[in-house]
Amino acid sequence: MGMNPKASEILSLEGKVAMITGAASGIGLATAKLLAKEGASIALIDVDETKGKKAEEQIKELGVKAKFFPCDVASDSDCKKTTEDVYREFGRIDILFNNAGVTRRKDIVELSEEEWDLVLNVNLKAIYLLSRHVIPHMINQGGGSIINTGSGWGLKGGPKAAAYCAAKGGVVNLTRAMAIDHGRQGIRVNCVCPGDVDTPLLHDEAAQLGEDEAEFMKKAADRPLNRIGQSEDIANAVLYFASDMSSWVTGSILVVDGGGLA
């Protein structure tokens, strides 16, 4: 790299390995594709094996090494085994995108304890579990980049989403805590907070709330930039955090929501 490299050179992920959770669809899959196009090898992590295998084929078509690993990110033993398998397969882990997510659109009174546990475990606990197994590898290789998926509702409240708001608020502050703890080890930890993005998760929310899907999507587009988010919008932000473009950025919370929070 010369003294004044082009942006494209700084964004390059050649020789890097990215581990992505929730990688079989939505934001995870879009990010896997974008990071692969920048040269990264991709470890796809998801609980959905059918979609996960399909995703692996799609990424391989982009000319990079890719492998799907089935994993329940809320299980410590799964996270430990998967991390070991990824490290054995790829030899290193440079980027961890903690993106797996689930929601239950209910207030506290309606929410069962099982639903609370599910939402907190998949959205928040999973970041702790996977990171604790990946970070030692990153320390050994001299650094890395961890990106967590938060939410606009991690920064403000939302209706009928008590467990989700609690979990995503936790993700935002956990990101800051991890950034403080691991900065000296060359590990950067940042958080992307999407607004409503056109993913299977969002369509599922409409169903949970018993709302007309077209109407629900129209409401979701009601923000200054006047459209619903696309998975690629979030993938672009993840690429920024994964690459050397953000080499002096850690503990940062980036809202990508078409102006909704504003």
Per-residue pLDDT tens over the stretch 73-120: 999 999 999 999 999 999 999 999 999 999 999 999 999 999 999 999
Nearest-angstrom CA–CA distance, 22 and 32:
10
pTM attached to this predicted model: 0.97
Which two tokens mark 52? Answer: 């996960």
The domain total for the chain is: 1
203 domain residue, yes or no? no
69 domain residue, yes or no? yes
139 domain residue, yes or no? yes
Nearest to 58 by CA among 96, 92, 17, 24: 24
Nearest to 31 by CA among 46, 18, 17, 15: 18
Q: Which residues are catalytic?
A: 164
What does each of the 262 residues of the chain score in pLDDT, given as a tens digit? 557 899 999 999 999 999 999 999 999 999 999 999 999 999 999 999 999 999 999 999 999 999 999 999 999 999 999 999 999 999 999 999 999 999 999 999 999 999 999 999 999 999 999 999 999 999 999 999 999 999 999 999 999 999 999 999 999 999 999 999 999 999 999 999 999 999 988 999 999 999 999 999 999 999 999 999 999 999 999 999 999 999 999 999 999 999 999 9
List, for residues 57-77, the tens digit of each pLDDT value: 999 999 999 999 999 999 999
Domain holding 44, by residue range, is 14-195+230-256
24 domain residue, yes or no? yes
252 domain residue, yes or no? yes
84 domain residue, yes or no? yes
Task: Look at residue 2 in the predicted model and tell me its pLDDT.
Answer: 54
Q: Which residues, 6+ apart, have CB-to-CB distance to 118 below 8 Å? A: 74, 102, 104
Nearest-angstrom CA–CA distance, 172 and 81:
26
205 domain residue, yes or no? no
CATH code assigned at 156: 3.40.50.720
165 domain residue, yes or no? yes
Edge-to-edge order in the sheet of strand 187-194: 66-70, 41-46, 17-21, 95-98, 144-149, 187-194, 253-256
